[in-house]
Amino acid sequence: MQNSLFIKAAFSQKTERPPVWMMRQAGRFMPQYWEIKNKYSFLEMCKTPEIAADVTMLPVDLLDIDAAILFSDILVTAEAMGGDLSFTNGIGPRFSNPVRSLNDVNSLATDVNDKLQYVADAIKVIQQRLNGKIPLIGFAGAPFTVMSYLVEGGSSKDFKLTKLMLHNEPELAHKLLSKIAKVTADYLNLQIDAGVNAVQIFDSWAQALSWDDYTEFSHRYISEIISNLNRKDIPVISFCKGSSVFAPLMAEAKPDVVSIDWNVDLLDIKKRLPQNIAVQGNLDPHILYADKKVIKERIYKLFERMRGENGFIFNLGHGIMPDIPFDNVKYAVEVIKEFKY
Ligand code: CP3
β-sheet bridge partners, residue 257 = 237, 278
The string of pLDDT tens digits covering residues 254-311 is 999 999 999 999 999 999 999 999 999 999 999 999 999 999 999 999 999 999 899 9
Domains of the chain (ranges, CATH numbers)? 5-338 (3.20.20.210)
Determine the pLDDT at residue 67: 98
Please answer whether residues 324 and 28 qualify as being in contact, where contact means their C-beta atoms are separated by less than 8 angstroms.
no
Looking at every residue in the chain, the average pLDDT score rounds to 97
For 227-261, b/e burial (b = at least 16 CB within 10 A) is eebebeebbbbbbbbbbbbbbebbbebbbbbbbbb
C-alpha span between 226 and 181 (Å, rounded): 10
Please answer whether residues 43 and 69 qualify as being in contact, where contact means their C-beta atoms are separated by less than 8 angstroms.
no
* Mutation test residue for ligand 1: of 45, 73, 123, the one with most atoms within 8 Å of CB: 73
The string of pLDDT tens digits covering residues 199-228 is 999 999 999 999 999 999 999 999 999 999
C-alpha span between 306 and 328 (Å, rounded): 23
The answer, yes or no, to whether ipTM is higher than 0.90 is yes
Peptide bond into 113 cis (omega under 30): no
Which atom of ligand 1 has the smallest separation from the CA of 139? 12
The string of pLDDT tens digits covering residues 66-87 is 999 999 999 999 999 999 999 9
286 alpha carbon to ligand 1 midpoint, in Å? 17
**pLDDT mean over 323-335:** 98
Determine the pLDDT at residue 220: 98
Instruction: Flag whether 167 is marked binding.
Output: no
The answer, yes or no, to whether residue 252 has pLDDT greater than 90, is yes
**pLDDT mean over 36-64:** 97
Q: Is the CB of 251 under 6 A from ligand 1?
A: no
Q: Is the CB of 202 under 6 A from ligand 1?
A: yes
Sign of CA dihedral 34, 39, 40, 46: negative
Q: Is the CB of 85 under 6 A from ligand 1?
A: no
> 1 or 34, which is more confident?
34
Going by pLDDT thresholds of 50, 70 and 90, the confidence category of residue 321 is very high
Q: What is the DSSP string of 289-329?
A: GS-HHHHHHHHHHHHHHHTT-SSEEEEESSPPPTTS-HHHH
**pLDDT mean over 36-47:** 96
Q: What is the DSSP string of 248-261?
A: HHHHHT--SEEE--
CA quadruple 54, 58, 62, 66: dihedral, nearest 10: -110
Q: Is the CB of 52 under 6 A from ligand 1?
A: no
206 alpha carbon to ligand 1 midpoint, in Å? 16
**pLDDT mean over 182-204:** 98
In angstroms, how far is CA 12 from the centroid of its own chain?
A: 19
